[in-house]
Structure 1
Amino acid sequence: MSDGTAERTNEARGRRWRGRVGLSIQSKLLIMLLAVSLASSVIVGTIGFLNGRQSLHDSAIDQLITIRSMRAAEITTALDAVKRDASLHSRNLSAQALSTSINEGFAELQQEEPEPEDRAALETYYSDVFIPELEGRTGDSYGDEAFIPDSVAGQHLQAHFTTQNQDFDADYDTLLDDNDPGDGSSYAAASEQYGDYFSRLVREAGYEDALLMNLDGDIVFSAYKGVELGSNLMSGPYRETALASAYAEAIATNSVSTVVLTDFERWIPSLNVPTMWVISPVGNDSRITGAMAFQVSIDTINALTTGDEGWKEQGLGDTGEVYLVGRDDLMRSSSRILIEDPEVYEKRAVNGGIAPSIVKRAVEVDGTVLLQPVDTQAVEDAQAGESGTTTGRDYLGGDSVTAYAPLEVEGLDWVIIARIDSAEAFAPVSEFTRTVLLSLLGILLGVSLLSLLLAQVFTRPVHRLVGAVHRVAAGDLDVQVPQGSRDEFGDLGHAFNDMASSLRIKQELIDEQQVENEKLLHTLMPESVAAKYKKGDEAISEAHENVSVVFAELIGFDDYARGLSPEQEISHLNTLMRGFDEAAEKAGVEKVRTLRGGYLASSGLVVPRVDNVRRSVDFARNLLGVVERFNAQNGTSIGLRAGVDSGTVTSGLVARTTLAYDLWGDAVNLAYRVRSVTGDPGVYVSQTVYDRTREIFTYSEAGTVEAHGGTETVWKVA
């Protein structure tokens, strides 16, 4: 009987013996350990997950709903108060007297002959001051005379008031107190007498501006005397604004009880800053004489949504916020992320799919009103009149828990959103889960220790295996142990015999692997060098003819790396080097070595190639593409200079203990020198490379270098 047949017979016989035994020791231990582990898991899991996890989850949701409801109530109350105050101010006797007197004064100015110097002053002001400032802040173009009022009175008032504002950041307070145009008119007398009423309203009530209109739609008075002063809302440049529509709606009611609140719109007189208006007719129960419009600032709304930026104090933690969204899916308040860290906002917004131009503008103006789109499911449901909560993508593409609802404010089609990052919202749940898991691990550890103690009882049969193990350690792989008992220890003896057989097989595999290692060594260096290395030669080198060398150097990476952590620096450098390796593989070029800021490669060294020069130039050009893609992905401006030469080189092993295969010679030196002939990024080649590839690539002369005892022209690849 052959050895293989005998082995199979013994194996079958062993299976029959093992089949006769009852419940094995392994099975008994396994049942005991599983019983303890499962019982512990069921107890801890039932108590922990059923009674704790859901409660913590619901608590986080309920807290967010409460914050949303409280903030919605505060916003509603505040906007109702704004509307109520506007109604009271418009019925005030001072407002009525101001309206009557200013309307009469404006009408008198309207009857006067136009003054050419007024028109000339306005044309100069708009072309030299206001329009350049407006275009600089909006990026749009406007005509120099687009905002000059048509009326004589309007031009007169702007010439005496508005043109005084030459610095939009410094002159506003001066204009607020300057109510006398100095022309001796009845308008001047009324403005001087009652203008302080408007000034106090703006300062004490916190409005951005306050306007007074007559029944014809003329803006007859402005607290800040901006470019809207004197314009007509029905026919002038602001006729298509929300202010004009709200004015027409308020006047049409002919009631001083009417109050109209507008949504945010970009208000050109405020240099395109988003603005809300609250408008109420001026007069009494007998008649109205015009309307007052109060400009509500973005800061007023932001103070309500952010709680004066007290997010943490109000239970929103490190990432939570409340914001408003209009029917057009654009924010009506500012993002907390932008307020706290514009750089983080910019990065997350761009990564979240927001157009870079929008993100850049939001960062420039330090606000997201009418800029940041919010196209989430929560907004869609809230706009449909629903209230609720959801977990999913937020407006910057992150994962958030969101509570949403419509905002019940008459005249505004807004929704209110309260959100917090899911990781922070459910942090207590995660912490609790971690505690439960640690408890389970503790139980498993206890079970393991108990198992170790019990295992001592069953270790005696193992001792007979020790001697056999020592023989195997001494190199006797033919050792076999007798299989005595018919339980797991018998199986252990059988397994040991299998192991010995396996070791023999593995030794054979090791011998085969040595052959494979030999082949691998030849892929790292030429066969002749590998043969010398295995012999133990100390100085190993070979000369090679007709080899092309590429020496590439990164430009500006050190400056860019100064702002990075060591981990980020090596990560970005690895990205570039991987790209270089891929380009080398595609071009059929062999990498010689990688430097921190450079890359040395050759063509025709290991594998002789007829077109090694063309391949090297192609590879160098591809490196420029790798760097350009890296710059586009990371917003950097790193450059690359590459030099290419062809000729005789010497290769060999340097620093034998680290097995570094290197390349040197005239071709390497010249490739290194031509790459920096101008200092500019690009691919530079020697005269030799130019002569062999000028029919393939387009070159321009870049300079000269000293080489081979003379001057050699360096060419740059176009």
Structure 2
Amino acid sequence: MVNPPLEDRADDVTGATDGPADADTAPAPETVRMRRVRGRFSIQSKLIAMLLGASILSAAVVGFIGYQTGQASLRNAAFDRLTQVRETQARQFVVQVSTLKKAVLVYTSGPAMADAVQALSAGFNELANTPTDPAQQQAIVNYYNQDLIGPIKRATGANLNLDVLLPSSNAARYLQAHYTVPAARPGGPLPAPDPSAWAAAASRYDPFFDKIVNLFGYGDALLIDPAGNVVYTAKKHADLGTNVQSGPYEQGNLHEAYAKAMGADRVDYVSVTDFQTYHPAGDHPVAWMGAPVVAGGRTVGVLALQLPITGINALMTFNGKWQDNGLGATGETYLAGADDLMRSNSRLFVENKQAYQRDVVAAGTSPELAERAVRLDGTTLIQPVGSDVTRAAERGQTGTRITTDYLGNETLQSFAPVVVGPDLTWSIVAKIDTAEAFAPERVFTRTMGVAVTAIVILDCLAAMALAQLFVRPIRRLEAGAQKVSRGDYDAVIPARTRDEFGDLTKTFNDMSRLLGIKDELLRRERQENKQLLRSLMPESVAERYRQGEETISESHQDVAVIFADIDGLDTLSSELPSDEFLSVVNELVRQFDDAAERNGVEPMRILRNGYTASCGLNVPRLDNVERTVAFAIEMQRIVARANAEDNLQLGFRAGIDTGTVTSGLVGSSTMIYDMWGSAVDLAYQAQAGGGEPGIYITSRVHDAVHDTHRFTPAGPLTVGDTQEPIWRLSGAGKSSYATSSVIGFLLGRPASPSGLPASLNRD
């Protein structure tokens, strides 16, 4: 039993020897009782109690913080995984559409397509006066009733007007009687031989168009003449021979694709339409890609290809391998249009049509739409998916949200807009049920609870067993660790014992000293790395690189680009010692850089005799063209002054253009920050094509600065198939930037190092 304190024992002795105390001086009974209770607890017991309380509280706090942090991390990881799936799908979809567009351009750019349009159009026009007999006319009527109107009514409930759909021209009736009707009944009687010129042309080009359709999975390939007549279809459906401007499909997206292609102002234009139900395809959704066919400098027709919906569905549904692509049992990706309807198939529809029909109806979709999707074997243009997610994507936003999907389930959704054509944008959505996405979070919660409970129990046992043994050296180490964590690496903990704690204290002191040394080395290395990155690339690009981005590129609008070349450096290098030549070059480059800084121009790259710079690339400027021209004039004066004062024979040529450029990092082990684009190419070609030294600009630059500078035509520059007019600077007008730049150049330049030529030692 713990002995009472000395003062209590003294009181006991006094009471025993002196007899009963006086009522006024004796302590109260409650006071004596509290003293005895406190006396039963030693310092060690009190310390254990405090350690237990601190341990339990610490475990609770750490558990709560760990739970919050772990929960947020798991939730963010689920969002990130879904976003990665969505981004991957979006990239693949854009690549798929781009490949289809390039294929269209390849086919329309060759002479074969123009020959086919002209031959089939000529054959079609010859059939204008060729009538069909009553039997053929009746066969056409039977085809429309049995193979088009009837199936569409059964699938969609729509009642189509036969009189509106029947072909109205002799050529259309002739072609549909000889080709459309037999194609719909391959087992029927063979049609009579067709001696027409159209038949001869079709037999010659059928293998070509069959290869186009089958190679890329297009639904059909159509040729349309300038008058709007569908002079050829690969599948010989009911649109053969019709007119897209006045026929039964004049209000459809085929007319839209034709009109945009015919009105295109360039040969590499490809129009892409949205999906729309199409009667010749059994009212299945059809989208078109149209491109003009040009011969002899004029548009002789349009090639229209049905966008392969099967390929889009295969991409968006991962060919049924959702789990292999990180979407688990409930995840999917789909496309949606501005009308809030799907542009691809639903996962549940692909896996279980009956379950899809049941769930979407329960979620609010009308039973008629669900039945129609089953009958048409697809959810494109049928299943509504309108929500705050798709509306946000339609506004051009990208992000992730937790919301209810079209099946009525709470889901985690990642969304973004995706560009399909020049004037067509869809939304891409990747989603997964929250119950599945956050399943690891529930497991983590249970694990965290068990772990915290175990930690509390272990803390209690450890506190009771080791309190007296470890409290002092641990606190000393803790104090030292806190100093180190605050950056005080000079903190020294006295080693007062010769046991393991003493050794640990010495090791800790050594570690603190080494950490201080390494921290200083790391600080210097980080500073050097930052300075190196800032010298190689803009700060914004350097920050993205430090954050771990592997592919860093940006598109910039309205950027002025200058490509300057100094002639005569090669000759000068052979005439001067290497150190003097390098001093000349370094001083020229220094003066160029100073001039660039004064004019707000951003140097990009120095390669041999060339000096590339831009204005408006990373710092948007309204007057970037004027600044660039002023910078070029100042560079020209720098070279001229060097020639005049040091008897040098250096020539200066510069090319300037403005437009859209792309910038980014190139390389892995050796990185270069560079820019690309037609503006860069034109700037280089302008200076390279100049017959004499001077400053050459394109027509876009001339339009911007012709009021402040004088130019003379320098002849055209051939760029591809076009002629680009080039101008040569002959004088400057009232240019505020040129004047201010020259004044700053003459008054604000620091002196160069000694030992350089006289012209380069002063400004």
TM bucket, shorter chain: 0.5 to 0.7
How does 1:17-56 map onto structure 2 within 5 Å?
Answer: 37-46=56-65, 48-56=66-74
- 1:31 to 1:117, Cα distance in 2 relative to 1, 3 A: same
| Structure 1 partner of 2:211 | 200
- 1:30 to 1:289, Cα distance in 2 relative to 1, 3 A: same
Alignment of 1:224 with 2:243, yes or no, is no
- 1:183 to 1:415, Cα distance in 2 relative to 1, 3 A: same
- 1:112 to 1:364, Cα distance in 2 relative to 1, 3 A: closer
Q: Is the 8 A contact 1:279 1:291 kept in 2?
A: yes
Q: TM-score, normalised to structure 2's length? A: 0.52
Q: Distance in 1 between matches of 2:452 and 2:375?
A: 52
Q: Distance in 1 between matches of 2:31 and 2:338?
A: 76
Q: Distance in 1 between matches of 2:205 and 2:89?
A: 38
Q: What is the CA distance between 1:39 and its match in structure 2? A: 3.5
Aligned match for 1:335, one of 346, 349, 353: 346
1:433 maps to amino acid: T
Alignment of 1:384 with 2:395, yes or no, is yes
- 1:77 to 1:128, Cα distance in 2 relative to 1, 3 A: closer
Alignment of 1:348 with 2:359, yes or no, is yes
- 1:75 to 1:31, Cα distance in 2 relative to 1, 3 A: same
Aligned match for 2:88, one of 70, 76, 91: 70
Q: What is the CA distance between 1:118 and its match in structure 2? A: 2.8
| 3-state SS in 1 of match to 2:424 | coil
| Structure 2 partner of 1:592 | none
Q: Is the 8 A contact 1:98 1:190 kept in 2?
A: yes
1:335 maps to amino acid: S
| 3-state SS in 2 of match to 1:145 | helix
| Structure 2 partner of 1:102 | 120
| Structure 1 partner of 2:369 | 358
Q: What is the CA distance between 1:21 and its match in structure 2? A: 8.4
Q: Distance in 1 between matches of 2:299 and 2:215?
A: 25
Superposed CA deviations along residues 173-213 of structure 1, whole A, max 9, x for unmatched, are x99xx9x9722111111111222211121122211111111
| Structure 1 partner of 2:759 | none
| 3-state SS in 2 of match to 1:413 | strand
| 3-state SS in 1 of match to 2:164 | coil
Greater mean alpha carbon deviation, residues 257-266 or residues 140-149: 140-149
1:428 maps to amino acid: P
2:289 maps to amino acid: V
- 1:279 to 1:352, Cα distance in 2 relative to 1, 3 A: same
Superposed CA deviations along residues 638-663 of structure 1, whole A, max 9, x for unmatched, are xxxxxxxxxxxxxxxxxxxxxxxxxx
| Structure 2 partner of 1:91 | 109
Greater mean alpha carbon deviation, residues 391-400 or residues 72-81: 391-400
Q: Is the 8 A contact 2:100 2:216 kept in 1?
A: no
| Structure 2 partner of 1:689 | none
- 1:370 to 1:181, Cα distance in 2 relative to 1, 3 A: farther
Q: What is the CA distance between 1:322 and its match in structure 2? A: 1.3
What is the aligned-residue RMSD (CA, Å)?
Answer: 3.5
Superposed CA deviations along residues 425-456 of structure 1, whole A, max 9, x for unmatched, are 22222221221012234457789999xxxxxx
| Structure 2 partner of 1:251 | 262
Q: Is the 8 A contact 2:113 2:293 kept in 1?
A: yes
Q: Is the 8 A contact 1:321 1:336 kept in 2?
A: yes
1:194 maps to amino acid: Y
| Structure 2 partner of 1:464 | none
Alignment of 1:122 with 2:134, yes or no, is no
- 1:394 to 1:129, Cα distance in 2 relative to 1, 3 A: closer
Q: Distance in 2 between matches of 1:195 and 1:129?
A: 23
How does 1:248-647 map onto structure 2 within 5 Å?
Answer: 248-253=259-264, 255-284=266-295, 286-410=297-421, 411-442=423-454
Q: What is the CA distance between 1:163 and its match in structure 2? A: 1.0
How does 1:696-707 map onto structure 2 within 5 Å?
Answer: none
Q: Distance in 2 between matches of 1:185 and 1:276?
A: 32
1:424 maps to amino acid: E
| Structure 2 partner of 1:519 | none
Alignment of 1:140 with 2:158, yes or no, is yes
Q: What is the CA distance between 1:337 and its match in structure 2? A: 1.8
| 3-state SS in 2 of match to 1:416 | strand
- 1:442 to 1:181, Cα distance in 2 relative to 1, 3 A: farther
Q: What is the CA distance between 1:220 and its match in structure 2? A: 1.0
Q: Is the 8 A contact 1:246 1:260 kept in 2?
A: yes
| Structure 2 partner of 1:183 | 194
Q: What is the CA distance between 1:165 and its match in structure 2? A: 3.7
1:421 maps to amino acid: D
Q: Distance in 2 between matches of 1:73 and 1:109?
A: 47
| Structure 2 partner of 1:156 | 174
| 3-state SS in 1 of match to 2:400 | strand
2:425 maps to amino acid: D
- 1:44 to 1:238, Cα distance in 2 relative to 1, 3 A: same
Q: Is the 8 A contact 1:94 1:197 kept in 2?
A: no
Q: Percent identity?
A: 34
Q: What is the CA distance between 1:144 and its match in structure 2? A: 2.9
Q: What is the CA distance between 1:391 and its match in structure 2? A: 1.3
| 3-state SS in 1 of match to 2:381 | coil
| 3-state SS in 2 of match to 1:208 | coil
Q: Is the 8 A contact 2:270 2:289 kept in 1?
A: yes
- 1:21 to 1:81, Cα distance in 2 relative to 1, 3 A: farther
- 1:38 to 1:105, Cα distance in 2 relative to 1, 3 A: same
| 3-state SS in 2 of match to 1:124 | helix
Q: Distance in 1 between matches of 2:32 and 2:170?
A: 117
- 1:318 to 1:248, Cα distance in 2 relative to 1, 3 A: same
1:222 maps to amino acid: T
| Structure 1 partner of 2:225 | 214
Q: What is the CA distance between 1:310 and its match in structure 2? A: 2.4
Q: What is the CA distance between 1:121 and its match in structure 2? A: 2.0
Q: Is the 8 A contact 1:255 1:285 kept in 2?
A: no
2:127 maps to amino acid: L
Superposed CA deviations along residues 102-144 of structure 1, whole A, max 9, x for unmatched, are 1111101012245333322212222233321221122111223
1:293 maps to amino acid: A
1:438 maps to amino acid: V
Q: What is the CA distance between 1:51 and its match in structure 2? A: 4.5
Q: Distance in 2 between matches of 1:392 and 1:125?
A: 48
Q: Distance in 2 between matches of 1:207 and 1:384?
A: 30
| 3-state SS in 1 of match to 2:165 | coil
Greater mean alpha carbon deviation, residues 132-141 or residues 328-337: 132-141
Q: Is the 8 A contact 1:87 1:257 kept in 2?
A: yes
Superposed CA deviations along residues 344-370 of structure 1, whole A, max 9, x for unmatched, are 322321221221222222233332111
1:241 maps to amino acid: G
| 3-state SS in 2 of match to 1:253 | coil
Q: Distance in 2 between matches of 1:19 and 1:57?
A: 58
1:430 maps to amino acid: R
Superposed CA deviations along residues 533-557 of structure 1, whole A, max 9, x for unmatched, are xxxxxxxxxxxxxxxxxxxxxxxxx
The size of the alignment, in residue pairs, is: 430
1:208 maps to amino acid: G
| Structure 2 partner of 1:112 | 130
| Structure 2 partner of 1:625 | none
Q: TM-score, normalised to structure 1's length? A: 0.55
Q: Distance in 2 between matches of 1:240 and 1:98?
A: 27
Q: Distance in 2 between matches of 1:448 and 1:334?
A: 59
| Structure 2 partner of 1:596 | none
Q: Distance in 2 between matches of 1:132 and 1:375?
A: 32
